[in-house]
């Protein structure tokens, strides 16, 4: 059984209900939810949006491979209203790297595996840059070490906040 850390978030529609439904679907389709953070609100990251995001971290156990987890969470996103084709059109029209969405589920950690291919990078490559990810992760795994950098989640959050203060 692998221990997998997921970050869920969204800013369109009834986000609280969507996150609750996503957690239930992850538990049913991907693996047993061991720990779940509270929901945290944040501004959009990487693009402008009037809607704030809600983000929540989950730790699960699963028998699925990393790519099977990715396939399962992308199906859950689609079932909960995420339309990647429409997002791609909006990104192309606006030039933005990101757009508002009802749900996004990212794999942050998969045990201590390090994986990079055309579909998936684990650990999540921008984790150390994203306070909206680090805050809920700190709630459930402050001392969890990044398998590449060796920093704990708490240390990453502290370093990011220090960098933000200096900017």
Catalytic (active-site) positions: 82, 101, 104, 106
CA distances from 115 to 14, 19, 111 (A): 33, 27, 11
| Pairwise CA distance, residues 35 & 23, whole Å | 11
Instruction: Say how many C-beta atoms besides its own lie within 10 A of residue 148's C-beta.
Output: 10
Classify 6 as helix, strand or coil: strand
Instruction: Please say whether the beta carbons of 54 and 11 come within 8 A.
Output: yes
């Amino acid at each position: 059984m692998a221990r997998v850390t997921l970050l869920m978030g969204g800013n369109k529609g009834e986000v609280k209900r969507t996150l609750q439904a996503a957690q239930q679907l992850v538990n049913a389709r991907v693996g047993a939810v061991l720990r779940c953070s509270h929901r945290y609100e944040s501004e959009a990251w990487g693009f402008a949006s009037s809607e704030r995001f809600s983000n929540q971290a989950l730790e699960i156990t699963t028998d699925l491979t990393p790519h099977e987890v990715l396939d399962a969470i992308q199906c859950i996103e689609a079932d909960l209203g995420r339309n990647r084709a429409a997002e791609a059109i909006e990104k192309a029209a606006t030039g933005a790297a990101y757009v508002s969405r009802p749900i996004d589920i990212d794999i942050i950690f998969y045990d201590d595996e390090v994986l990079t291919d055309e579909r998936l990078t684990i650990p999540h490559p921008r984790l150390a840059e994203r306070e909206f990810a680090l805050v809920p992760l700190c709630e459930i795994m402050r001392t969890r070490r990044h398998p590449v950098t060796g920093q704990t989640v708490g240390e990453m959050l502290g370093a990011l906040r220090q960098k933000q203060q200096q900017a």
